[in-house]
Chain A
Amino acid sequence: MEQLTKKELERILSLYVDGELDSAEVKKMQDYLSTHPQIEREVKFLQSAKQSLSHKKKILPNEWFWLRLVNKIEIRRNLRFPFLMIHRSSISLALVATVIIIIIGGVYIKDAPLFHKFFKEKKEFVQNSLLSGNIFPLFTNLTNDDVLHFALLGALPIDSSKKTELQVKNDENKRTQFEIVKKFGSQIPKAISVSDFCNNLGVTADQQVIVDSILGTYKQKLQTAVLVGENKEIAIHEELGQMNRAMLSTIAASLEPVQKMRFRKYLNDLNAPYSVIAVNDPAIAPKVIFSRIPEYPRTNRYVIVSKDTVGIAEMKMNVDSIRDIAYKSSVRLRHIATEKMMRDLAEIQQGFEQGITVSGNNRNEVRLHSTNNAFQINFESSFPTNDFEANDNVISRVRVPVVPLPTANEFEMMGDSAFIMEMHADKSVMKILKRLPSGEFRLEYIDSIKQSPRMKLLFKSNTKEYLFDQQLQKHKKSEERLIDLDSLLREDNKRRDVQQVPKHQSPKLYEM
């Protein structure tokens, strides 16, 4: 072994590290290493590096991988034109085909008014059916700890394991983002409790009562801020986007300067999206604080996302009734059956004025955006800001990004029309713009979005309506006699008959 060149030695060392030498060679190598400490150190280095690489950090699994892959495969199939396979002798055939296409095109242009008529009918159907079924509040059993968590981090847990959250972000430019996001492993936030929070800030017992009261007041508001519709819709009150910040400001206003300093440090340590300013201001009296908490909701505007569309819409509804149901549900949630809640909610339909007014100005633009683990809704908030709540005590440390229109290249890479789209809600027409691989925009039928399996799945996994559906099916099977449930099912069937949406021609790959 002493006779080996440096290169040969390196080669044998590499084989030794990989365990590829036979026993005699291993023995020989071990003897050699025992007399050459420098080489032995190099071997140890190689072994450690190899071991370290074998434990290389893995990236997070992507549960949407298959679905996106299927979409891409489907798009590739649709885009594959057989033109290149045409033989020279078929050129005349191709010419005939071209003439036919031109004729069809002419007919299409001639029938353009029909297209608009069809689109108008679709638009009316969407407007009339949006949130026309039963609705129920999503957050019925919040604790004060949950509310504090929302105030500090802008996140409300959607499922019991707290792995899925509704995250709210807002910045100084009134840009707001709602994001339904899945958390994995270390991303799942640690529990925050009101008592720990108060201990950290060194608040007195009297002040803790005030903090509890503030949280309790906002808890009621949160309970009616997110509504889930029977027809797989979610409506988020636009003010939810500012409510966490308002709550932090209110809590900060009740604290003395030294406590405000601690509050600021606490937020920093927590890596919260907000920071406390005006730390030298004295505490405001509880009476004044509670008089300045506004009555929510101040507007009737909700960001609505359904299977078909997205937009900001004005809805008049009896919030007190919903709040009442939410309160009752939170008290009896463990015992109450889902169908009972549905009955209650059917009753409060009395207070829900059907019909949506979709307001139309440029500020109402809402954009959807999807990442691997998150589903984002971006919009500009336009509700009136007032009081001390929004600006005086708390500043936002985040900047909500303006989601840009996808470039042609990105579109090509993602290849999914359901999420590469921009929707505008205005008075005249519900437009869905779809970017084609060629880079052009095309007005898209609403039905084609409705048929997107990916959109459906997102809602199934990210909201509670999936459970809602399961409960419905369960009771349908057990033939339990429930007056309103029956009528609900009848209505649902009627709606389906009326709707007559052509069934999606699923490729075989979907049938799993």
Chain B
Amino acid sequence: MAKTAVININNANLPNNQKSDDALIVMFQSGDQTVFRYLVERYQEKIRNLVYSIFSEQEIVDDLAQEIFIKVFEALPKFRFESSFYTWLYRITVNKCRDEMRKRKVKRFFTFHHVEQTSKIAIENLKPVTFDDENIHEVIEESLNKLPDKYRLPIILKDVDGMSYDEIAEILKCEVGTVKSRLSRGRTMLKEILMPLLLLT
């Protein structure tokens, strides 16, 4: 059953850059495509950073983020306000990133046994760290990249972007319970990779 759309457009007197997402979309759908710029400027850095978190490659961030906004531009006339623009945009982003992964034939799906093996390699290559070390971000990022996507994406959305379980479920098109269990599983796997590095200090 379709969700009821609640549109927040009660800010007609505000300048365009202060209007709500919904109000801007209504204007866009009425033919004023210039307002698309405000939506882009509002979210472009969030989307660029999300893409960067997923791929850890700065070179592809802009191209992919632009493809995402082009997709949004094309799909916006059909936006039905059944979810917030924010989660809809994130869903497009995640789907586009998944497509890109498929294109690149990046297969991160491996078993827990493989993670253990990878972590052993990581221990040999990386120096012991503490959470106070400057390079802890890189170590965590490196470890996170080793997780399968279905565990990695919820962690990125939850811990990097600070989203709620409901929002993540909506973006990933799954149940809240699934989000919780994937987060739990992902964190356990992350711990398996990271713990040895930290225990050594």
Chain A residues packing against B (C-beta within 8 Å): 7, 10-11, 13-15, 17-18, 20, 42, 45-46, 48-50, 52-59, 61-62, 65-66, 68-69, 72-73, 76, 372, 413-414, 508-509, 511-512
Contacts and interface: CB of A to CB of B under 8 A. Distances in A.
A76 B155 CA distance: 35
Given A10-B188, A50-B159, A52-B136, 14 more contacts: A11-B184, A13-B184, A15-B180, A20-B165, A45-B194, A49-B159, A54-B159, A55-B137, A59-B52, A65-B65, A66-B37, A66-B40, A68-B66, A69-B66
Prevailing SS type, chain A contact patch: helix
Contacts of A73: 70, 73
B169 interface: no
B62 A372 contact: yes
A45 B191 contact: yes
B190 interface: yes
Contacts of A414: 63
B181 A11 contact: yes
B187 interface: yes
B40 A49 contact: no
Contacts of A14: 180, 183-184, 187
B49 A58 contact: yes
A463 to B, nearest CB: 24
Contact of B45 (A52, A55, A61, A509): A61
B34 A509 contact: yes
Given A10-B188, A54-B162, A69-B69, A511 B58 contact: no
A17 B158 CA distance: 11
Interface residues of B, number: 47
Contacts of B49: 58-59
Contacts, number: 100
Interface in B72-92: 73
18 contacts: A10-B185, A11-B180, A14-B184, A18-B183, A45-B191, A45-B195, A50-B159, A52-B140, A56-B137, A58-B49, A59-B61, A65-B40, A65-B48, A68-B66, A69-B70, A76-B70, A508-B33, A511-B34
Interface in B26-73: 32-34, 36-37, 40-41, 44-45, 48-49, 52-53, 58, 61-63, 65-66, 69-70, 73
B31 to A, nearest CB: 9
Contacts of A55: 137
A56 B184 contact: no
Prevailing SS type, chain B contact patch: helix
B12 interface: no
A38 to B, nearest CB: 11
A85 to B, nearest CB: 16
A407 B53 CA distance: 27
A512 B33 CA distance: 11
Nearest to B41: A66
B35 to A, nearest CB: 10
Contacts of A59: 48-49, 52, 58, 61
B160 interface: yes
Contacts of A511: 34
A452 B115 CA distance: 50
B147 to A, nearest CB: 12
B141 interface: yes
A45 B131 CA distance: 9
Contacts of B53: 56
B66 A72 contact: yes
A489 to B, nearest CB: 32
A37 to B, nearest CB: 14
A72 B45 CA distance: 18
Nearest to A61: B45
Contact of A48 (B41, B73, B131, B162): B131
Nearest to B144: A53
Interface in B107-145: 131, 136-137, 140-141, 144
B174 interface: no
B198 interface: yes
Contact of A53 (B159, B188, B195): B159
Nearest to B67: A72
Contact of A45 (B52, B58, B62, B198): B198
The 6 closest A-B pairs by CB, nearest first: A14-B184, A53-B159, A11-B184, A48-B131, A50-B159, A59-B52
Contacts of B141: 56
A512 B35 CA distance: 9
A330 B57 CA distance: 45
A53 B160 CA distance: 5
Interface string B163-201: 001000000000000001101110110110011001000
A512 B187 contact: no
A363 B18 CA distance: 53
A508 B184 CA distance: 48
B187 A46 contact: yes
